[in-house]
């Protein structure tokens, strides 16, 4: 068994939406629907600040399927179309999905929708078609802030990799093959800087790194996502 996941360094995320655009292009996501939504959290007054700029804090939060450990969307699916695979990802078999939408309210993160043209439910697949060919999810490969990394949680977050960096310049084909470990690409972080979305008993697996924001108020902010 594995547990594929995405780690996002929120201190590096610039809210550029390149992940959303790349996702839509690579997965033919219908107009008006999204597999990734980038939310703005804040601006919020700093702990001891006046609340006036620049005495405020803000960050961007990409939101997508969390490929949960025990996904309720799989539990409620009457046909078995929603499945938890051996690689840890949660996928939808469109040949089996009947469009009943029972899984949509079962997801605590609101990341599923009904494709009305196909009458099937869709969501982030973590670009399974790219992973199968040894690539990275499109949102990781094209991240403008180089804030996103992909890997297997069973092998440890230190094994997660992201795309090439500017100092590794070469031809595009060369760049596409270069991977950098998360520890060599981002600023140091502590275990207390790692967060998950609020757990409703489903065990969200994607990891978010956030340093020096809001102190203990971060959890309360995320409850409103």
SS3 labels along the chain: CCCEEEEEECCCCCCCCHHHHHHHHHHCCCCCCCCCEEEEEEEEECCCCCCCCCCEEEEEEEECCCCCCCCHHHHHCCCCCEEECCCCCEEECCCCCCCCCCHHHHCCCCCCEEECCCCEEECCCCCHHHHCCCCCCHHHHCCCCCCEEEEEHHHCHHHCEEECCHHHCCCHHHHHHCEEEHHHHCCCCCHHHEECCCCCCCCCCCEEECCCCCHHHHHHHHHCC
Average pLDDT over residues 196-225: 73
Task: Examine residue 43 and say whether the peptide bond preceding it is cis (omega within 30 degrees of 0).
Answer: yes
Question: What is the fold, at CATH topology level, of the domain defined by 4-69+126-223?
Answer: Alpha-Beta Plaits (3.30.70)
**Residue 214 — very low, low, confident or very high, per pLDDT cuts 50/70/90?**
low
Cα–Cα distance for residue pair 9/204, rounded to 1 Å: 17
Task: Examine residue 51 and say whether the peptide bond preceding it is cis (omega within 30 degrees of 0).
Answer: no
* pLDDT per position as a tens digit, 171-209: 545 555 678 899 989 999 999 999 999 999 999 999 999
* pLDDT per position as a tens digit, 118-156: 999 999 999 999 999 999 999 999 998 899 999 999 999
Cα–Cα distance for residue pair 190/212, rounded to 1 Å: 11
pTM confidence score: 0.87
């Amino acid at each position: 068994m594995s547990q594929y996941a995405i780690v996002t360094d929120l201190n590096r995320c610039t809210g550029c939406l390149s992940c959303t655009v790349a996702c839509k292009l690579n997965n033919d996501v219908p107009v008006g629907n999204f597999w990734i939504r980038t939310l703005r959290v804040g601006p919020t007054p700093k702990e001891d600040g006046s609340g006036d700029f620049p005495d405020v804090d803000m960050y961007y939060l990409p939101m997508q399927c969390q490929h949960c450990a025990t996904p309720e969307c799989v539990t409620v699916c009457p046909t078995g179309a929603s499945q938890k695979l051996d690689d840890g990802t949660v996928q939808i078999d469109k040949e089996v999905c009947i469009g009943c939408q029972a899984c949509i309210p079962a997801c605590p993160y609101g990341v599923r929708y009904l494709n009305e043209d196909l009458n099937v439910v869709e969501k982030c697949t973590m670009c399974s078609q790219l992973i199968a060919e040894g690539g990275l999810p499109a949102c990781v490969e094209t991240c403008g802030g180089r804030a996103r990394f992909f890997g297997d949680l069973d092998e440890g977050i230190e094994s997660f990799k992201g795309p090439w960096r500017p100092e590794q310049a070469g031809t595009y084909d060369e760049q596409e093959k270069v991977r950098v470990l998360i520890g060599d690409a981002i600023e140091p972080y502590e275990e207390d800087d790692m967060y998950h979305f609020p757990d409703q008993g489903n065990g969200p697996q994607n990891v978010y790194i956030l340093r020096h924001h809001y102190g203990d108020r971060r959890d309360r902010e995320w409850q409103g996502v």
